[in-house]
Amino acid sequence: MYKTANGKEIFVLDGHTHFWDGSPENQSNVHGKQFIDCFYAYHSNLSPPEQLWEKSKFEKYSEDDVYRDLFVDGPDDVAIIQTTVLSDFYKNGFSSVERSTKMAARNPERFIVNGAFDPRDGKKALEHIQFLKDKYDIQGVKMYTAEWNGDSKGWRLNDPAAYKCFELCEKLGIKNIHVHKGPTIIPLSLDAFDVRDVDHAATEFQNLNWIIEHCGLPRLDEFCWIATQETNVYAGLAVAMPFIFTRERYFAEIMAELLFWIGEDKILFGSDYAIWTPQWLVEKFWDFEIPEDIAAERGVQLTAENKEKILGLNAAKLYDIDVTAKLKQLQNSPIQLAAAG
């Protein structure tokens, strides 16, 4: 839990984290190396110097690293682990639901592990969604529309095969659909992360929550227009957050636009761990103020009340978490740092 300078305790639900294996041993080809190298470039260019990791640790960090960075040294109360398979690039998947669930089992009350599927797999995709619900009782999934699959280099949320999958998600109560709509990662296509398909899917599936990770960057303007008219579309701040250190005014513009267009109730914190660790992001965010000229132009403020919503309360609503009950549960569940032998 994050404690402010005046002693106020803030519930933090980190909406976008991973437990990945991008090590050379798991890379299937040059594309696996390109992908993790691109992540490391984001890490190196947008992190404070004291937060930089060695490349070997960044490629494959330990279970203890996760617990320490998120919950011991870090401010998180709960973290959502996202699944990103990238089976064309990695032998055992990049961030698999099986590996993440095994890691989370040491303190399951601290984690929400989301699944993933690829609608291009047709009937197998539907079977996999059912498997994920039956075995892991998932509440959400992560969509990676630029992921490669054989000859295909991407897909759209409004593809007919995708609609069949979302229909099944709705039926099974898998209601939180996290979608990567942000910067490209080598060798994926920037166009395959275009945000315009969000408009179609969100309209068609009103009972699903569409959490658009990275808030559409670098397509923030288009995202805001869509998210304004679609009441079930939310902005995830992963990737936007580190600009609070490298380009404060740019970050202020992002936050001001989101607050102006979609409001404080539809913005969710995400550290994008392990590209960045959450402690410094949360500290800087809590102390951050939108410059007066930007705030005046939009007529918005980044207040303590809306910061608290963004850092955890908004995501808690989407995942049906009673925050008071959750904090009481966590008080009775100390973090286990020593891996089981």
Per-residue pLDDT, 1: 87
pLDDT confidence tier of residue 332, bands split at 50, 70 and 90: confident
Instruction: Write the pLDDT tens digit of every residue in 235-252.
Output: 999 999 999 999 999 999
Per-residue pLDDT, 214: 96
Average pLDDT over residues 180-192: 92
The pTM is what?
0.96
pLDDT confidence tier of residue 340, bands split at 50, 70 and 90: very low
How many Å apart are CA 248 and CA 253, to the nearest integer?
A: 9
Reduced to 3 states, what is the DSSP secondary structure of residue 159? Answer: coil
Domains along the chain? 2-331 (3.20.20.140)
According to DSSP, the residues that pair with 14 across neighbouring strands are 79
Average pLDDT over residues 70-87: 97
For 23, half-sphere exposure in the C-beta direction (CA atoms, 13 angstrom radius) is: 10
Instruction: Write the pLDDT tens digit of every residue in 108-139.
Output: 999 999 999 999 999 999 999 999 999 999 99
Indicate if the pLDDT at residue 341 is higher than 80. Answer: no
Per-residue pLDDT, 336: 75
Element (H, E) at 246: helix 243-246
Note whether 233 and 210 are within 8 A (CB).
Answer: yes
Per-residue pLDDT, 61: 98
Amino acid type, 24: P
